[in-house]
Chains A and B, each alone.
Chain A
Amino acid sequence: MPNMTRREFVYLGAATGAVLAAGAALPLAILTRDAEGNAVGAAVFFPEKRVASLGDLEIGVPVMFDYPFEGQASMLVKLGEQVPNGIGPDGDVVAFSRICTHMGCELTGYQAEHQVLGPCPCHFSTFDLIHGGQVVLGQATQSLPQIMISLDGETINANAVVGLVYGYADTLDEGVNA
């Protein structure tokens, strides 16, 4: 589902429960902001996107994909260790945004030995993927947004992003690029 716009998300939101050709949008209880800037619970809607097949995964070898928009670099990896939010028979498959939450550089180096993503080429932030993308060392002020994934048979789908992606005022709003 390439380059979804705000309007399409709204449409998908309205169509909750309907099965669309590209997959269903899952409503997700998540924090957003009210007009006063307070964090409040709200349902927001993300596209579903097929990102990998379970049988193709090897421990420690990442699969790269973009989500929710084109150009929003993300990755999925089988960590080899069960973690909260991990899926698959071993509970060890997770996905994260690869856009550094410091100043937006793209994270490339997954280090399987330590299960970390980084150091970022720009200012060396490193993120721990067995601890929800926590900053191990570095200048980012939030964990890496985690991509929530689900299993449909052998197919792994991306369903939502938890957290604010660098550059955006709203993870689901393409802003002036819409």
Chain B
Amino acid sequence: MTAESTSIPLPPANAKESIICCEYCPVACGYKVYTWDLGTQGGPAAADNALGVDFPTELLSGRWISETMHTTTIVDGELKNVIVVPDGDIEVVNVGGTHSVRGGALAKKLYNPNGLTNDRFLYPMLRVQGNLVPISWEAAIDLVARLSQYTLDNFDELAWGMKIYSYQFYENVYAASKLAFGDIGTPNYSPHHAPAEGDDVPGLSDCGIDAFSAAFEDDKEADVLFISGSDPYETKTVRFTTWQQPGGAKIIYVDPRKTFTAAYAEANGGIHLQLMPGTDTCLYNAISREIITQGWEDAEFIAANAASRTELDGEGSWRRQMFGLSFNEYRDFLFSNDDFTLQGAESETGVPADKIRAAAEMMTGGTGPRPKATILFEKGVYWSHNYENTASIGSMAVLIGSSGQPGRAISRMGGHQRGGQKAAGYPMDKSPHEYKGNKVEMDTERWFAEGKTRFRWIVGTNWIGAMGASRALAAAAERLTSVGPPVTSTDPDLAYAALTERMDNGGTVIVHQEIYENDSTPFADIILAAGAWGEDNYARNNAERRLRLYEKIADPPGEAKSDWEIFAAVGKAMGFAGYDWADTNEIFEEAAPRSSGGRRDYVALVEKAQADGVRGHDLLRTFGTKGLQTPISLEGGEFVETVRQHADFTFKSNSGKANFVLSDWEAVKERNAILGPVDDELWVTNGRVNALWNNLSDFTRRRISQDRWPMNFLEISPNDATARNIVSGDLLSIESDNVLDQLGNKTKGGFTAVAYVSDIVPDGVTYSYFLYPKQPANSVTPGDSNLQPINLRYNFKLGKGRIKKIGTTELTETMSFAPRNLVPG
């Protein structure tokens, strides 16, 4: 019998209360944190506990404390009790204090010296003769600054690279980009999820539509939700359980997998369009063509809001010049390719023609009244064929007038929260990469693999595992960090001499700023021990642009420092001005003007705070977990928030009109021919699952998620499993000899996983977790950004491999292999 806790300590009435939002998905549910001394407890009567609720709590109270909501952590130097519980009073986002399995265990994220999180990096380290050994912060900052300066003096700014999360709070991203763009001026900078900076949904942006224009209430208001490339129940949970499902919209769900949401859609009057990987562009264009064929487009919206040829000719950007279409041109484009007929699309995508037609009718109401249709999408769309998929889904929204109106919108659902407040613009003129004579953001991974990056600073990401062709990238990292003499002493001068000699010999120095060891750590020369969520005061937006304060609730462990402090220290050591911030509030206030005119615009907040003589963070704190929906402005001393963007039918284009955009399906087909499985290979696509989050730095240290997913898994269909003599619980190898790496060469990739035989996946398609430590699904996904030259993205979803049983595991005894797509009957 497993020993289980049968009780939870209650916070006493005088426990300290703080506000925070969830660290994980872009819904960003609101939470409250209670901190109190060890050795004291509250009681079950409402008056005797800080939650002010009687225990046992009522059904759906939003105020129960599960075991996973409690921990002990260090606060102001002392070990304290902490609970992180959903905010039971919240009226937005996670109304009434609901939560997902991920957020419901946020407390377990915190550093607990006696718990599973006690292996945090506690101090900076230097690799000396192969081992990471502690050094002082003074020495670490000095080394990073001098190595950076050496790179700039002896090579150029393109040889100095930074790879960093795009989301980990305004204040940290601002400080990092001030250094990288503002002072060093390098284009060798890329986010955690892509080889290059730049827009993840360029096709939608070229339509003139903001990627996060909708509000969660649009999901509830809609009659029809067209959801593609993201399972909202699994990965944007509270958006589904609080906004989508209770709203009762019929769901058209587009996914090669029959996930929970697919099954739910079908059981509730919706449609599952189960396309084969890589065929989204054809499917969306076929739906759009059918809509036009039937005359179901929103002619009024198009007449009023779609750009004419003349207006398109006035567009400034090369992409819109190249791909922007008027309605007539768009119609002609759709009718010029027989793959976009219902039959043609059926044979290209695998989706039956009658379902494509039914989707077109459901979205538009056919000959009946027009329903409110909202289109939502995420990585299944843009990590497949990025430009073409986002252009075709965006154009479909323009066609049916789904933008800027209650229940009628198109939006990304988001992968993570929105914290990318940059300090300066990307230096595009310095990028070495082009598309047809037009500058595009630099592919930093190609540059690295070519050996042109001499110094690389990896911040808060499992860089290697997160990039395509990850095994080839690891080999490049191994090669480039093995050049030259090893560091043999902690003496900063000797270390500096060895590392600069490596640079001179064509090698690369890697600095890794992290909270835990991960698959990229073996390549690090210097470790900078970082703080994390809840260890400083920070601000961030969610997927409906809701800006909230995330209060500091605990100390960074050991000597770890907040990321911004580290960037500031290096900036100062390099002699740059403007890094004298005393705290994150000073950065928050300094960053405000950079948000002006964008979806994060919070200038009004800081202006009012300064006029009232209060701090920006403190004013934001007064809005609690509700926060403010940006962009915001001030009218008569009151904030005016933006529920949804484009409500005045002004779009983000030179003309202010919305555009149709060309999506080159023939180019996509050529790419699919290169990327698709051959011989006995199957598609090996990947993504998230409900109980896990991203690189699992928290989730491999959480019992519930480790019980559920003790290793990476591969969903395989019953037919494909039988053909390979595979049953659930078998250990599999997934290998391909045909993975295009960062330089466009064919390389080998592979990983292992436990078999999960399931009809979630169709024959020919398998599915794995995208970033499981030591079992990297990205080792069989392409790392060649030349495949998508318009904006240098990876086709992360289009991996492939041979699947073979290599043994058995004992996991069937402890891990459930039950179906994960059961819905109420």
Residues of chain A having any CB pair with chain B under 8 Å: 29-33, 35-39, 41, 44, 84-85, 101-105, 109, 111, 114-116, 118-119, 121-124, 126, 128, 130-132, 134-143, 145, 148, 161-177
Contact = CB atoms under 8 A, between A and B. Distances in A.
Interface stretch (B135-143, B187-195, B813-821): B813-821
B2 A162 contact: yes
Contacts of A115: 818
A170 B6 contact: yes
Interface residues of B, number: 65
A131 B4 CA distance: 15
Give the interface SS of chain B, mostly helix, strand, loop or mixed.
loop
Give the interface SS of chain A, mostly helix, strand, loop or mixed.
loop
B101 A163 contact: no
B6 A44 contact: yes
21 contacts: A30-B3, A30-B4, A31-B3, A33-B8, A36-B38, A37-B70, A101-B66, A103-B60, A103-B64, A104-B61, A119-B824, A126-B818, A126-B820, A134-B707, A142-B704, A162-B4, A164-B66, A166-B66, A170-B7, A173-B44, A175-B45
A142 B67 contact: yes
B5 A168 contact: no
B61 A167 contact: yes
A167 B55 contact: yes
A41 B3 contact: yes
A85 B814 CA distance: 13
Nearest to B108: A141
Pick the 6 closest A-B CB pairs, nearest first: A175-B44, A167-B56, A128-B816, A170-B7, A141-B104, A36-B38
Given A37-B70, A38-B72, A166 B64 contact: yes
Contacts of A131: 814-816
Interface string B263-275: 0100000000000
Nearest to A163: B4
Which of A85, A137, A161, A177 has the most B CB atoms < 10 Å from its CB? A137
Which of A32, A115, A123, A132 has the most B CB atoms < 10 Å from its CB? A123
A174 B5 CA distance: 16
Contact of B60 (A30, A32, A109, A122): A122
A164 B824 contact: no
A138 B41 CA distance: 31
A89 to B, nearest CB: 20
Contacts of B70: 37
B4 A168 contact: no
Interface string B675-710: 000000000000000110000000000001001100
Contact of B101 (A84, A121, A135): A135
Contact of A32 (B7, B38, B100): B7
Contact of B822 (A126, A130, A168): A126
B54 interface: yes
Contact of A172 (B6, B8, B66): B6
Given A104-B60, A171-B7, A172-B6, A139 B104 contact: yes
Interface stretch (B145-153, B233-241, B564-572, B615-623): B233-241
Contacts of B60: 103-105, 122
Given A142-B67, A176-B55, A32 B708 contact: no
A24 B98 CA distance: 39
B613 interface: no
A168 B55 contact: yes
A26 to B, nearest CB: 12
Given A109-B824, A121-B824, A114 B7 contact: no
A168 B55 CA distance: 6
Given A138-B690, A140-B101, A141-B105, A37 B9 contact: yes
Nearest to A85: B1
A170 B7 CA distance: 4
B81 interface: yes
Given A35-B39, A124-B241, A139-B241, 6 more contacts: A126-B820, A132-B2, A141-B101, A142-B66, A173-B7, A175-B45
B15 to A, nearest CB: 12
B31 to A, nearest CB: 13
Nearest to A171: B6
B64 A137 contact: no
A148 to B, nearest CB: 7
A102 B7 CA distance: 16
Contacts of A109: 824-825
A86 B824 CA distance: 27
Which of A84, A128, A131 has the most B CB atoms < 10 Å from its CB? A131
Given A30-B6, A103-B59, A176-B45, A148 B54 contact: no
A37 B99 CA distance: 23
Interface string B315-331: 00000000000000000
Contacts of A31: 3-6
B58 interface: yes
Nearest to A122: B60
Contacts of B704: 135, 141-143
Nearest to B44: A175
Contacts of A128: 816, 818
Contacts of B751: none
A37 to B, nearest CB: 4
Contacts of A37: 9, 38, 41, 70, 72, 81
A135 B6 contact: no
A174 B57 CA distance: 10
A45 to B, nearest CB: 11
B506 to A, nearest CB: 49
A160 to B, nearest CB: 9
Given A31-B5, A33-B9, A123-B241, A114 B824 contact: no
Interface string B225-261: 0000000011001000100000000000000000010
Interface in B17-73: 38-41, 44-46, 54-62, 64-70, 72
